[in-house]
C-alpha cells in the first residue's frame, strides 16, 4: 500500500472512532472494526456495529468535506447486507460531512446497483437522508429501523 493509502486509511479510522464515540455516549454497545485482520480471518467486519437493546445498526463510514456521490463495491455491499441479515439489523452508509459534525445516514437497501455492478448513493439521497441523531432517537424510542422495506436478497 502506498503512503497515501495508509494516510487515507488512518484518517478513515478517525471518523469511525468519532461515530463509535457518539453512539457509545448515547448508550449503545459499540464495536469498531479491527485496524487490520479482516483479510486474515475472512470474516465480515463492518466499520462500526452499534447495538441498543437488541437493535443492531451496521455502518459503512465515508467522510468528505462536501456532499458527493458514493460508491460501494458489490462484494463489500453484499457482505455487509449478509451481516445485517444474520444479526437482524440494518446496514447504513454513514456519510460524514467533515467540518460540520454532521452525519447523514442512508440505508443500504436504498442504494442503487449500477450497470457496472457497484452500489451507488446519489447526492440527492444524501440531501434528504436522516441525520445520525434522528436515527439514534428513533432506535432509542424503540421504533425500529428505517421506514423502508428490505429488498429481497
Which phi and psi angles does 3 have, rounded to 5°?
Answer: -55, -40
Strands 55-64 and 70-72: unpaired
Is 65 designated active site?
no
Site map for a second copy, 39-58, x if CB under 8 A?
--x-xxxx--x-xxxxxx--
Q: How many residues does the chain have?
A: 153
Across 69-97, b (16+ Cβ under 10 Å) vs e yields ebebeeeebebbbebbeebebbbbbbbbe
Candidates 2, 36, 116, 149; catalytic one: 36
* Of 6, 31, 98, 137, the one binding a second copy by CB under 8 A: 31
- The least distance separating a second copy from the CB of residue 32, rounded to whole angstroms, comes to 7
Is the CB of 29 or the CB of 123 nearer to a second copy? Answer: 29
Give the footprint of a second copy on this chain (CB under 8 A): 17, 20-21, 24, 27-37, 41, 43-46, 49, 51-56, 82-84, 86-89
Amino acid at each position: 500500500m502506498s503512503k497515501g493509502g495508509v494516510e487515507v486509511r488512518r484518517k478513515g479510522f478517525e471518523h469511525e472512532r468519532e461515530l463509535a464515540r457518539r453512539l457509545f455516549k448515547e448508550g449503545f454497545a459499540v464495536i469498531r472494526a479491527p485496524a487490520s485482520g479482516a483479510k486474515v480471518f475472512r470474516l465480515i467486519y463492518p466499520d462500526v456495529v452499534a447495538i441498543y437493546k437488541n437493535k443492531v445498526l451496521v455502518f459503512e463510514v465515508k467522510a468528505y468535506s462536501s456532499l458527493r456521490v458514493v460508491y460501494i463495491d458489490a462484494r463489500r455491499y453484499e457482505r455487509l447486507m449478509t451481516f445485517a441479515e444474520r444479526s437482524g439489523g440494518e446496514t447504513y452508509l454513514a456519510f460524514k460531512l467533515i467540518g460540520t459534525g454532521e452525519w447523514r445516514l442512508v440505508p443500504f437497501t436504498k442504494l442503487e446497483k449500477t450497470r457496472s455492478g457497484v452500489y451507488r448513493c446519489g447526492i440527492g439521497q444524501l440531501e434528504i437522508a436522516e441525520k445520525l441523531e434522528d436515527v439514534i432517537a428513533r432506535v432509542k424510542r424503540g421504533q425500529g429501523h428505517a421506514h423502508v422495506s428490505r429488498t429481497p436478497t
